[in-house]
Amino acid sequence: MVASSLFFRGLVIRGRPELPHLERWLVAWEARPCYVASKSDHYTHAMALPSQNGPGYYDPDTAHLSDALYGLGGAWTRPLGEASRAAAALEPLAPLQRSGGEAEARHEAAHAMVSNRENIVAFAARGAAEPGRPAFAAELADPNADPNPAFLAPVDACLRVLVVALVQGRDAARTVAAEVHMVGSCCGAETLASGWDAYDDEVVPGRTYYWNDETGEITWTPPTRGLDNCLGYLRDRVGVPRDMGAAAARELRAELNWAIGICASET
């Protein structure tokens, strides 16, 4: 309820002075390592909920909150900018979630990527293929999809660069990115995949969404079926705590956005 009420209706439940007992109850849970180990994040909750309870409907007046939790408008970036600071403020980490600091979170994300590399590469390569059929009820679940074989090697190279960025920093990663020809690898590939069109969002002026009139799918990430789409496909499907903790997921999503920027850059 903390996650979905905020995401869909803009209702803040945590930290309300008129609900002191609820806040103390939640804080007590977050002091238990066994609970924190199984604690999800708002994004994972919100993306999983519609398939269980039916579709969620947004309040247009609070759409900026759901956008921030969804990672739009620069919310999933490092170093922290205005949008990412605002997103982090909506979902402050519990003390046990941030006890190891940024370095531990980044190493956790890197370990998750390296320890399951082959499966993750194949999973991300689905982003350059057609969605699985039949479609699945959950928005981000795509269990019937197959990877595009032509993208296995490029995705593997990109994710190796990503791990370097997580562990050694972006300067070191830029050098490796140039060596594997990752820089600019998506330039000129902005054409949308077949069946997709871009539309101006009537709820949030200035925002663009993408709609597939053949399948009914909707996304805010341009569906190019290119290398950038593979990285975005993975970014949007990082689940907490299934894949890693909330702090690690924040770092990984931000570095995936950085990697997408490298692919789309000419320098």
Domain that holds residue 184: 101-189+224-264
Same domain for 71 and 37: yes
What is the 3-state secondary structure of 140-155?
A: CCCCCCCCCHHHHHHH
Same domain for 183 and 151: yes
Residue 144's region, left for phi above 0, alpha for psi from -120 to 50, else beta, is: alpha
In Å, the largest CA–CA distance within the chain is 57
Same domain for 159 and 255: yes
How far apart are alpha carbons 210 and 129 in whole angstroms? 17
Same domain for 239 and 120: yes
- Establish how many alpha carbons lie within 13 A of residue 143's alpha carbon, considering only the half-sphere containing its beta carbon: 3
Determine, yes or no, domain membership for 34. yes
Where a domain ends, among 37, 62, 90?
90
Same domain for 256 and 160: yes
Q: With 90 as the cut, is the pLDDT of residue 212 above it?
A: no
Where a domain ends, among 38, 55, 90?
90
pLDDT at 194: 80
Same domain for 36 and 125: no
Q: With 70 as the cut, is the pLDDT of residue 192 above it?
A: yes
Where a domain ends, among 30, 57, 90?
90
How far apart are alpha carbons 158 and 214 in whole angstroms? 31
Q: With 80 as the cut, is the pLDDT of residue 205 above it?
A: no
* Least confident window among 42-46, 125-129, 199-203: 199-203
Q: Residue 108 belongs to a domain with what CATH number?
A: 1.10.490.20
What number is the average pLDDT over the span 191-207?
81
Same domain for 86 and 105: no
Same domain for 52 and 32: yes
Same domain for 8 and 32: yes
Q: How many domains does the chain have?
A: 2
Determine, yes or no, domain membership for 18. yes
Same domain for 111 and 78: no
Determine, yes or no, domain membership for 56. yes
Give 10-58 pLDDT, tens digit per residue: 999 999 999 999 999 999 999 999 999 999 999 999 888 877 777 777 7
Contact 195, 215 (CB under 8 A): yes
Q: CA distances (Å), 98 to each of 104, 168, 247, 263, in order? A: 9, 20, 7, 31
What is the side-by-side order of every strand in the sheet holding 208-212?
Answer: 196-200, 208-212, 218-219
Give 50-103 pLDDT, tens digit per residue: 777 777 777 888 988 999 999 998 999 999 898 999 999 999 999 999 999 999
Q: What is the model's pTM? A: 0.90
Supply the Cα-derived Rg of the chain in whole angstroms: 19
Report H helices in the chain: 2-9, 20-30, 33-37, 42-53, 63-70, 82-90, 101-115, 117-124, 152-168, 170-179, 227-235, 246-264
Determine, yes or no, domain membership for 215. no
